[in-house]
Amino acid sequence: MLASGLQMPEAVREAQDYTYQTLLNGMRLGMGQFIPDRLFWARADAEEEERSGHDKA
C-alpha cells in the first residue's frame, strides 16, 4: 500500500480492512480453525459476473 503512494494512516486502514475481510470470508476445512480466504475479492467479482450473466438471459 505504501508503495502505491498511500499515506501511512490510509495504508494501515486498507491493510486492516483486507485482513478483516479475509477472516470474515474464511473457510473452515474439517473441524479445525477458519483459514483466511485471501482471494475473497476474486471470488466476489466472479460471483457478480455470474449473477449479471444470469440476469441478462
Helix H, strand E, coil C: the string for 1-57 is CCCCCCCHHHHHHHHHHHHHHHHHCCEECCCCCEECCCCHHHHHHHHHHHHHHHHHC
More confident residue, 42 or 57: 42
Which pLDDT score is estimated for 10?
94
Q: Is pLDDT above 60 for 55?
A: no
Could you report the per-residue pLDDT of 21-44, keeping only the tens digit for each? Answer: 999 989 998 888 889 998 988 887
Are 36 and 23 in contact, with CB atoms under 8 Å apart? yes
